[in-house]
Amino acid sequence: MLVSRAGVLTAMGVGPFALFALLFLLLPTSNLLIGAFQDGDGTPTWANIAGLLTPSVIAAFRVSIIVSAVSAVLGAAAGLAVALALRGDAIPQVIRQAVLTVSGVASNFAGVPLAFAFLATLGRTGLVTVILKSWFGVDLYASGFNLLSIVGLVFTYLYFQMPLMVLVIMPAVEGVKRDWAEAAAMLGASPAQFMLRIVAPVLAPSVIGAALLLFANAFGAVATAYALTGSSVNLVTILLFAQIRGDVLHDPNLGYALALGMVVVTGLCNVAYLRLRAFSDRRLR
Amino acid sequence: MKGGTLWRRIVLGVMGLYLFVPLLGVAEFSLRMRRGVYSFDAFAAVFADGRFRETFLYSSALAVVTVVIGMVLIVPAAYAVRLYAPRLRAMVEFVTLLPLVVPAIVIVFGYMRLFGSQSWLPLTDTEIGSDALLAFGYVILALPYLYRSVDAGLTSMDVRNLTEAAESLGARPWTIMLRVVLPNIRTALLSGAFLTAAIVLGEFTFASLLNRPGFGPYMQLLGANRAYEPAALSLVAFALTWGLMVLIGAFSGRRTGA
Amino acid sequence: MSFLTVHGLRKAFGPVVAVQDFSLEAERGEFISLLGPSGCGKTTVLRMIAGFERPTAGRVVIDGEDVTDLPTRARRIGMVFQSYALFPNLTVEGNIAFGLKVAGIGREAIATRVKEMLGLIGLQQLGGRYPMELSGGQQQRVALARAVAIRPRILLLDEPLSALDAKIRVSLREEVRGIQRELGITAIFVTHDQEEALALSHRVVVMSEGWVEQTGTPAEVYRTPRTPFVATFVGTANVLPCRIEAAAGKVVRYGAARLTAGQAVTGAVGEIVQFAVRPEAIGLQRFEGASNSLAAVVQDTRFLGPVVRLRVMLEGGLPAVVDVHGEGARDVPAAGAAVHLWFRPESLQVLDRHGHGARAAGSGPGGSSGP
C-alpha cells in the first residue's frame, strides 16, 4: 500500500499528541462519566444519577450555580466597563498597558494566596474591616457581612473574574471601529444612539460568550473556595473534593455522578460560548 | 471629543482600588507577626521553613517538566495540522479546548479511577508514577494556553512558505523543525512556558488529590495552621505571578519582525 | 456667497501643523477633489468639514450657516469612508435606513427611501444581505447610498476607492460621479490618485505638506501648473532652471540655449526661474532648431504601449523624459543617439520660485501671471 509523505508526517506530528490526549484527557473523563451509570461491580444503574437528586447535592449545585452566575455577570459587567474605558486613545498608552498587565496577573492570581489576601482584608480582623470599624464606626460583620459566605465568595471570585473579562473581551471592544462612530455621527445619531443601536448589538454575542466562559471558570474552581471557607459554603466542587478525599461518606459512584453533573453544566456553557463566538466571528471579520 | 475621559478614569480607578486593596491588606497583615510593631518575621519564618523550599522546588521542577512535555507534544502536532492536515484542525482545537470545559477536579478524579491501584496501569502506586501523572495532568491543564500560543506563533511566521523554502534547499523534516520552526516561534514558546509556570506553581487540586508535595497544598496547609505566614506567602505568590506576567509581556513585546 | 465656504482653516496637532490656511469656495452641485500625497493634510481638511476634528482656526459655512461649532450629527453631511464603515450588525437595508431611523422618520417613508436608494446603486436584490457577505465594491456602493439617503447638504468622500481593485475602481468612480450629478449634490472628494481627480472633478485642489499648492480646473492644473510640486505630482514634468535674459520679457536662457516662454516672466535679469515642460509636449529633431531647442543624448527607451518614453540627458547634465507617440513612436532614436528637443513657447510653463509663503500671494499683485 502506498502511504503519502504528508500522511506519514501528519501521523508523526499528530500521533503522539492524540495518544496523549486520549490517555490523559479523553479516557479518564469518559471512563469517569461511564462510571456514573455503574454500581460498584460495574453493573449498569441509574442509582447514582438518582443520588444526585438528594437535597444536599441539589443544594450544592444551586449554590455553585448562584456563585458562578453572579460572579460571572458582575465580573463581565465590570470587565466590560474597564475594556470600554480603555477603548480608543482617550487613555494614555502607558496606563492602558499597565491595566492589561495587571489584568494578566490578577486573572492568574487565584487559589490559595487569593483567599489569604481576602481574609487579611475583609476577614474579621482584616485591614478594611478594622479600618471601617475604628475610623468610620461601620461594623461590617455586625451588619451581616461574612467573607465566608456566598457574598464573600462572589466578592473574592471577582478578583480574577473581572480581569479575565478584560482580557477576553478587549479584542472585541477594539473591533468597534472609530469609523463606525463617525459614520453614525454623520448620519445624525447621538453617542447614546450609537451605543444602543450599533455597539451593544455588535458586542452582545462576545459579551454573553465571555460571561459563559467566566461562569465555567468559577464553577470549576476549587482552591479559592476551599482555602477561604473550608467546607462552610456548600459548593459542588467542595463536595466532590471531600468525596474524593474520603472525608465524608465514601461513595465513588456518586462522586462520578457529581462529576457528570459538573461536566454537563460547564459543557452546556461552552457549547453556548462556541456557538456565540462563531456567530459573532461570521459578522465581524 | 475628549469629553468622555472622566468616566474612564473613575472606572479604571475603581478597578485599581479593588485590585490593590486586598494586596495592601495582606501586606499589612504579613507585617503584624510581632506584637505591637511591624516586622518581616512572617517572611523570615516562611523562608526559613524547609517545606517551603522543598515544595517550591518540587513545583518549579514540575513546571519545567510540564512545559517540556507540552512543547514536545504540541509543536509537532500544531505544525503538522497546519501544514499537512488542515482537516484535522477543528478536531485538534476542540480537544485543546476541552480542559476549559471539564473542570480540573473531574480530570484528576478520572485519573484516580483509571490509574488507581486496582487499575490496568497503577501509576498512583509509586512515587515516580504519581509525579509523572501530575506532570501529565498539568500538560492537560495548560493545553488550551500552550496550543494557542504555539498556533499564534506559527501563524505569525508564515510556516508554509518557510517550510517550502527550507525544503527547496534540501532540508529534511527533522532539520526544518529544529532549525526553522523552533527558532521562529521561540517568543511564542516562551510566553506559553511562563503562562504554564504561573498555572502550575500554585496549583492545588491536582497536587492535593494525587497526594504530591506541591507548593499549592503547602500553602493551603500553612493557611489552615498559621496566621501570619500565609499572608507573607500570599505576597510571595503574587510577586511570582507578577514576575511571570511581566516576562511574558517583555518577550512578546520584543517580537522580532521575522 | 458660495454654497460651501471654508475660510482660513488651520489644524495643529501639538507642534505639528497638519493644515495651513486652507480656503475653498464650492458651488451647489460642484465636484471638487482634494489631491495630494499621504500626509498632505487633505483628509484633515475633510474631517474638519465633517466635524470630526476641531479646527485650530478658520470657519466652515454651509449654505449660509456657520457650522464650525456644530457637532457632526447636526451638520447634515454625508460621508463615505475608505474602510466603508458599514455597521456589521445591520443588513444593507438597515444600514441605509439608519440615518432615517435616528431622525425619527416614519416607517413607510423609510421603506420608500431605502428602495429608491437601492435602485440608485443597482443593488435591489441584496437589501437583506449583511455587509460581510458583499464584495468591496458593493459595500462601498451601500456606504454611498447610506450617506446620500439622509439628503445631506454636502457629500464627503474620503479615498472611497482606494481599497478596491483597479478595474472596479474605474467603473465605481464613474458610478459615484453619476449619482452625484443626478442628485445635484456638492461633493468633496479626497484622493491621492491624480488620474481619479482629473477624471471626476470640476475643480482640483492640489495640496502638499498642509498647504494648498494650486486650485483650478483639471486642465488648468495639468497645463499650467503653478509650482514644481504641482507640475511633478499631477502628471510627469521636466523642470528646467532657467536664467532671466531681460526684465518682463519672454526670453530666458537654459545653459547656452535661448528659450521663449508662453508668457512674460517677471524678475530681475540674471535671476533663476523654474520652468516645466510636459514630456508629451516635446518633439524630437535631428538638427538644432531655430528656437526652443535643447541638445540631449538618449539614455534609454521604454515601450509603454501608446507612447514610447525616452530618458535623455540634457547638456549640462540634467535628466529629462520625452514621450513620443503616433507614427514617430515606430522609429525612435536608440540609446546613445544625439537628438534635439523642441517645444512650443506655450508649453514652457513658468513656476513660482518661492516657498509656501509666496504662494498665497501668487494670484496677487506680485504674481507671475502675464496680463
Would you state the pLDDT for residue B72? Answer: 92
Would you state the pLDDT for residue C190? Answer: 95
Q: Which residue has the higher pLDDT, A251 or C40?
A: C40
Would you state the pLDDT for residue C325? Answer: 86
* Percent of the residues in chain B that have a pLDDT greater than 70, as a whole number: 96
| Number of Cα atoms under 13 Å in the Cβ half of residue B85 | 24
Which chain C residues are within 8 Å of A284, Cβ to Cβ? 88, 132
Option in C74, C85, C88 nearest A283 (CB)? C88
Query: CA angle, corner C341, sides to C337 and C346, nearest 5?
Result: 170
Tens digits of per-residue pLDDT, A142-170? 887 888 888 989 999 999 999 999 998 99
Dist. CA A266–CA A37, nearest whole Å: 19
Distances (CA, A) of C29 to B74, B118, C72, C270: 63, 89, 21, 47
Would you state the pLDDT for residue B198? Answer: 86
Residue C26 C-alpha from the chain's centroid: 15
Q: Which string of b and e fits C320-347 if b means at least 16 CB within 10 Å?
A: bbbbbeeeebeebbeeeeebbbbbeeeb
- State how beta strands C77-80 and C154-158 pair: parallel
In angstroms, the separation between the Cα of residue B238 and the nearest Cα of chain A is 7
In angstroms, the separation between the Cα of residue C83 and the nearest Cα of chain A is 8
> Residue B92 is part of a domain; what is its CATH number?
1.10.3720.10
A182 close to C (CB below 8 A): yes
Q: Please say if the pLDDT value at position B43 is more than 70.
A: yes
In the three-class reduction of DSSP (H, G, I as helix; E, B as strand; rest coil), residue C284 is classed as strand
Structural domain harbouring B53 = 49-253
Substitution target from A8, A26, A29 for chain B, most B beta carbons within 10 A: A29
Ranges of chain C whose pLDDT falls below 70: 353-371
User: Does B17 fall in a domain?
Assistant: no
B7 close to A (CB below 8 A): yes
Domains and CATH numbers, chain C: 4-223 (3.40.50.300), 236-359 (2.40.50.100)
168-207 of A, contacting B, C-beta below 8 A: none
Domains and CATH numbers, chain A: 52-283 (1.10.3720.10)
pLDDT confidence band for A2 (50 / 70 / 90): low
Which chain C residues are within 8 Å of A186, Cβ to Cβ? 50, 72-73, 77-79, 99, 147
Contact (CB<8Å) A222/B109? no
User: Does B26 fall in a domain?
Assistant: no
Substitution target from A187, A194, A195, A199 for chain C, most C beta carbons within 10 A: A187
Q: Please say if the pLDDT value at position A55 is more than 80.
A: yes
Domain count, chain B: 1
Q: What are phi and psi of A53, to 5 degrees?
A: -85, 15
The helix or strand, by DSSP H or E, that contains position A159, with its residue range, turns out to be helix A150-174
Asked which of A125-139, B1-15, B184-198, C37-51 is least confident by mean pLDDT, the reply is B1-15
Dist. CA C258–CA C293, nearest whole Å: 8
Contact between A29 and A263 under an 8 Å Cβ cutoff? The reply is yes
Q: Return mean pLDDT, chain A.
A: 86
Dist. CA A35–CA A32, nearest whole Å: 5
Tens digits of per-residue pLDDT, B7-16? 888 999 999 9
Which chain A residues are within 8 Å of C77, Cβ to Cβ? 186
Place of cell 447610498: C145
User: Does B208 fall in a domain?
Assistant: yes
In angstroms, the separation between the Cα of residue C100 and the nearest Cα of chain A is 8
Complex ipTM value: 0.86
Sheet strand arrangement including C293-303: C283-285, C338-342, C293-303, C307-314, C319-325
Contact between C97 and C149 under an 8 Å Cβ cutoff? The reply is yes
Asked which of A136-145, B16-25, B188-197 is least confident by mean pLDDT, the reply is A136-145
User: Does B186 fall in a domain?
Assistant: yes
Query: A with B: how many residue pairs have Cβ under 8 Å apart?
Result: 259
B111 close to A (CB below 8 A): yes
Would you state the pLDDT for residue A282? Answer: 62
In angstroms, the separation between the Cα of residue A127 and the nearest Cα of chain B is 5
**pLDDT average, residue stretch A224-251:** 80
In angstroms, the separation between the Cα of residue A175 and the nearest Cα of chain B is 18
Q: Please say if the pLDDT value at position A185 is more than 70.
A: yes
Provide CB contacts within 8 A for C211, sequence distance 6+.
C20, C21, C41, C356, C359
Furthest-apart CA atoms within chain B: distance in Å:
74
Contact (CB<8Å) B103/A220? yes
Residue C28 β-bridge partners: none
* Residue A68 amino acid letter: S
**pLDDT average, residue stretch B112-135:** 85
Residue ranges with strand state E in chain C: 4-13, 16-26, 31-35, 57-62, 65-66, 77-80, 154-158, 186-191, 203-208, 211-216, 238-244, 251-254, 257-260, 272-277, 283-285, 293-303, 307-314, 319-325, 338-342, 349-350
Asked which of A246-255, B18-27, C230-239 is least confident by mean pLDDT, the reply is A246-255
Other residues' Cβ atoms within 10 Å of the Cβ of residue B6 = 9
Would you state the pLDDT for residue A247? Answer: 59
Which chain A residues are within 8 Å of C130, Cβ to Cβ? 283
Contact (CB<8Å) A14/B80? yes
Other residues' Cβ atoms within 10 Å of the Cβ of residue C140 = 28
Contact between C197 and C191 under an 8 Å Cβ cutoff? The reply is yes
Contact (CB<8Å) B234/A117? yes
DSSP string, C119-173: HHHT-GGGTT--GGGS-HHHHHHHHHHHHHHT--SEEEEESTTTTS-HHHHHHHH
User: Does B232 fall in a domain?
Assistant: yes
In angstroms, the separation between the Cα of residue C206 and the nearest Cα of chain A is 25
Would you state the pLDDT for residue B117? Answer: 76
Dist. CA A279–CA A282, nearest whole Å: 5
